Amino acid sequence: MTSRPPRPRDRGIPEATVARLPVYLRALQALQDRGILTVSSEALATAAGVNSAKLRKDLSHLGSYGTRGVGYEVEYLVYQISRELGLTQDWAVAIVGIGNLGRALANYGGFGSRGFRIAALLDADPGVVGQSVASIQVRHIDSLEEVVRSRGVSIGVIATPAASAQGVASRFVEAGVTSILNFAPVVLNVPDGVDVRKVDLSIELQILAFHAQRRADGDGRDARAAGLELT
């Protein structure tokens, strides 16, 4: 709107677009690894599993980074998306709950290369505290506040059992963490201004089951015929 020339990108990037940028970024990095310098929206869209028009519209929210008749320069686009997502800066992450899931997260290589640094691993179990996971020593949950402060943790990951999750979340918030990724199957209660994202392993399975059942129901008879009766 107002100052357009010096500021091509708009601050209001649609949420749906934000959710896809990491997918594009990953596809672009894969292309980069293969030594590809330039890519068309069509090719990138295929690699990312989306419609090419959607891809172009998504990228247009960041600015006009393509060249008509040519496509997008891979390296440049990687940089622009990274910057937009905030991956050019360093994010200190603390993981609470070092069970199998916590270990899986700690060992997940993709973090380090994308601007995320695991600053601390915390657990309540004395048998786990002191162990070394992914070359990081697990500390007791009691030191959460101290760790957050001293290491500048800005993102908290909760991989505890459901019963402990709300308590951990509250302590994170109290300590000043405003971004939380929650793997526990509970709805967290946090004040405004705190951003919580939830990843729920079993919800996805249930959605799959719903569709599978739906397919099975319409199996044998025509799916459209089933839609005819009733209403």
In whole angstroms, give the CA distance from residue 23 to residue 48. 6
Task: List the single partner that 105 binds among a second copy, DNA, none, CB under 5 to 8 Å by kind.
Answer: a second copy
The per-type count for the chain, helices as H runs and strands as E runs, is 9, 10
In sequence order, which residues have a C-beta less than 8 Å from that of residue 92 and are 6 or more positions away? Answer: 117, 119, 151, 152, 153, 154, 155
Of a second copy, DNA, none, which one does residue 141 interact with (CB within 5 to 8 Å by kind)?
A: none
CA 159 to chain centre: 15
What gap in Å lies between CA 135 and CA 46, rounded to an integer? 38
Per CB under 7 A, the list member of 32, 46, 60, 131 interacting with DNA is: 60
Nearer to a second copy, 30 or 53 (CB): 30
Helix/strand/coil percentages in the chain, nearest 5: 45, 15, 35
Residue 52 interface partner, choices DNA, a second copy, none, CB cut-off 5-8 Å depending on type: DNA
Q: Binding pattern to DNA, positions 64-83, x when CB under 7 A?
A: xxxxxxxxx-----------
> Cβ closer to a second copy: 119 or 180?
180
Residue with tokens 């729920």: 200
CB 3, min distance to a second copy, A? 6
Of 36-95, which residues contact a second copy (CB under 8 A)? 47-49, 84-87, 89, 91, 93
For a second copy, the closer of residues 51 and 108 by Cβ is 108
Structure tokens at 152: 């500048």
Residues 129-188 that bind a second copy (CB under 8 A): 154-155, 157, 178-181, 185-187
